[in-house]
A and B are shown apart, each in its own frame.
Chain A
Amino acid sequence: AQKVTQAQTEISVVEKEDVTLDCVYETRDTTYYLFWYKQPPSGELVFLIRRNSFDEQNEISGRYSWNFQKSTSSFNFTITASQVVDSAVYFCALTLPFSGGYNKLIFGAGTRLAVHP
């Protein structure tokens, strides 16, 4: 069975602090994809990144970076120099590419990040 665990329910930081959101996944398949989505207070989920299981290179996009480690089945997300606008719920998700041939994302429970001025 596939599962995504985000053990941190809520994180509170002060602006300019770095923060890491943890994501641990379970799957027996060797081919899979991992995602991060952001859900601001307005409600809509915003796509941040997709990573396939064969690409373990870390990725950096501005203040965002992702650390994918297959050895520990983790796909952690770090925000450097956090800002108030980063306050949101962040979801990690997993999908298998041929599980019915569609985007059947398995989401974690989410981590609520509060960045205070």
Chain B
Amino acid sequence: ETGVTQTPRHLVMGMTNKKSLKCEQHLGHNAMYWYKQSAKKPLELMFVYNFKEQTENNSVPSRFSPECPNSSHLFLHLHTLQPEDSALYLCASSQDLQLTPLHFGNGTRLTVT
């Protein structure tokens, strides 16, 4: 596989559930990102990791918990979400943090019921 792969593609969860989103990149990149894309709102940067270290938490609520075990994998652990958290969650990677192009995955469409 090449590029950035996200699983699952679709996820429906209740507000009391715990689930995780997975992202894997096969590009040899060192930086990985989580973005949130809601209807009628611009793409929002959530978290940034560089060489497995978190470099940015963009005021994201604690019900979203990222994990980056290595430079190729990124997780987003979800618990006690709210309906307004329903959105498309996009993972991206880049060679480094210095303006190299972002490569995005197809996203996980999350619906919180």
Contact = CB atoms under 8 A, between A and B. Distances in A.
A95 B99 contact: yes
Interface residues of A, number: 24
A101 B98 contact: yes
A43 interface: yes
Contacts of B88: 43
Nearest to B102: A103
Contact of A104 (B41, B45, B101, B104): B45
Contact of A101 (B3, B41, B97): B97
B97 A103 contact: yes
B74 interface: no
Given A33-B99, A97-B98, A100-B56, A45 B45 contact: no
Interface string B55-93: 110000000000000000000000000000000101010
Q: Give the contact-size bracket for chain B.
A: 20 to 34
A42 B67 CA distance: 25
A102 B104 contact: no
A70 to B, nearest CB: 19
Contacts of A104: 45, 48, 56
A105 B55 contact: no
Interface in B35-56: 40-43, 45, 48, 50, 55-56
Nearest to A48: B101
A29 to B, nearest CB: 14
Interface string A87-117: 0000100010100111111111110000000
Interface of A: 4, 33, 37, 42-47, 50, 91, 95, 97, 100-110
Closest 6 CB pairs of A and B: A102-B97, A47-B101, A43-B106, A45-B104, A107-B43, A43-B107
11 contacts: A37-B102, A43-B88, A44-B90, A47-B101, A50-B99, A91-B43, A100-B55, A101-B98, A103-B31, A103-B33, A103-B48
